[in-house]
Amino acid sequence: EVGMRQAALSQQLAKLRAENIVEATRRGRFVHYHIKSQQVLNVVRALCPAE
């Protein structure tokens, strides 16, 4: 659960894909996303440390 409606999350992920920030892989009826850039991943980890 991410606290967003599915449609809003899909729109945000589409924007990130368009900017080549994330990559999507379809597995059955699910789509898995991952951050493509190590630099972006480092920023995300700095802003959102694991609990």
- Beta-sheet strands, E only, within 1-51: 22-27, 30-35
Cα–Cα dist 14/11, whole Å: 5
Number of domains in the chain: 1
For residue 31, what are its two tokens?
A: 């789509």
For residue 17, what are its two tokens?
A: 């894909």
Residue 1 lies in a domain: no
Cα–Cα dist 13/23, whole Å: 9
Residue 21 lies in a domain: yes
pLDDT tens-digit readout, 11-51:
999 999 999 999 999 999 999 999 998 999 999 999 988 76
The pLDDT, as a whole number, for residue 51 is 65
Q: Residue 13's domain spans which residues?
A: 6-47
Amino acid, res. 8 = A
The pLDDT, as a whole number, for residue 4 is 87
The pLDDT, as a whole number, for residue 50 is 79
Residue 32 lies in a domain: yes
The pLDDT, as a whole number, for residue 32 is 94
CB 1 within 8 A of CB 9: no
